[in-house]
Structure 1
């Protein structure tokens, strides 16, 4: 079973990548590029904090 925080992190990363692609291909939706960048940065920070914190279960 995948913990909720991992699922949330995956969802944020996927949404960020989709928004980056849409923002990059459409000039009219350029603000989505910034939203995607912010979400991607948040996802990376959460991933780093989770790895450094060592909260994962290790067997």
Structure 2
């Protein structure tokens, strides 16, 4: 499954969604999903998916 932000969601919104899906899957199945997500800044720099990533986007 892939998701592309085609609207007004912030990086913080997208990260929250990823974490909610991970939590829900774990609660339902016991399976810990490892994300293969890449946040890309307007400059083209790739930001790793972790809680500190949000600061890079200013959100």
Between Structure 1 and Structure 2, the one with more strand by share is 2
TM-score normalised by the shorter chain: which range applies?
Answer: 0.3 to 0.5
- Which of the two has higher C-alpha Rg? 1
TM-score by length of 2: 0.47
TM-score by length of 1: 0.47
